[in-house]
Amino acid sequence: MRLFVAAFGLSIASLTPAVAETAKAPVQLAPHRAVYDLSLLRAGGSNGVENAKGRIAMEFGGDACDGYTLKYRQVTILTGSESGANTMDVQTATYETGDGRTMHFKSTSVRQGMIKDSEVDGDAKIGPDGMLNVDLKQPRKTAFGATGETVFPTEHLKRLIEAGRRGDTTLSVRVYDGSNKGDKVYDTLGLIGRKIEPGTALTSLEEAVRKGDLASLARWPITISYFEDGKGDRTPVYRISFELFENGISRDLRLDYGDFSLKGELKSLDVQKTSGCAR
């Protein structure tokens, strides 16, 4: 979402007070490593899931000057009385330039430790008009484009924080993250709850959060629903909820896959020093 301001006929002097009043420091995302333990939150539907466990391990690094890197791995074991145990192992690595215009992504999904469900490898660029162009190497060599403004995941995260700072309650934006087979753009609707002031409700925070400096930061409850682009059916294909700190770190995950949902509890957190990039 872009904000265009038409100020024809106004002098710089007349604009200065408004700019000074609304200017805020840019969002600074913290490089960090985080581990979340997964457990079953809700079961139901036709897939027969009765129990679940797993782990998410992620490492986020970089800054707006050098770009952002993400290494993400999620191992989930779903168990049903009829299907038995089914293990899914998803690994993703991405690089996004600091201006949010270019992303390289690579992911692998493995089932039962030996069956490779999918491998995705590609590059995506966003033009000056916000339009998306994707070049895929895997699962097959192809290229496609998408009209309408689209953002990548790190830019999406920044916009959620900016919206929370403004006191907005929703954020609607199209997102491309290279997931699935790399061929989908998602319409997203983010619901942003009331700001939780620093130092509030500390007893509800995990030990990994309390022992660091996160308790001194503001945070917001966030729910993001992902919809297939252009589909008439507006049932989300995926929904995620979490508390988002002002530096981009998340806690209290809820991953809703429709037939079942998982809870993610932050078990360990290692926050590195920011580089001081001022962009």
Question: In the prediction, which pLDDT does 17 show?
Answer: 38
- Tell me the per-residue pLDDT of 57-83, one tens digit each, with 9 for 90 and over: 999 999 999 999 999 999 999 988 777
Average pLDDT score, the chain? 85
Q: Range with the lowest mean pLDDT among 14-18, 21-25, 81-85, 270-274?
A: 14-18
| pLDDT (0 to 100) of residue 133 | 96
3-state secondary structure of 207: helix
Q: What is the pLDDT of residue 2?
A: 22
State yes or no: pLDDT of 5 exceeds 50.
Answer: no
User: Higher confidence at residue 161 or residue 230?
Assistant: 161
pLDDT of the residue at 12? 26
Nearest to 101 by CA among 60, 154, 49, 58: 154
Quickly state the pLDDT bin for 115 (edges 50, 70, 90): low
Percent over 70 (pLDDT), the chain: 87
- Which pLDDT score, from 0 to 100, does residue 4 have? 24
The pLDDT value recorded for residue 3 is 23
**Total-model pTM:** 0.86
Maximum alpha-carbon separation in the chain: 72
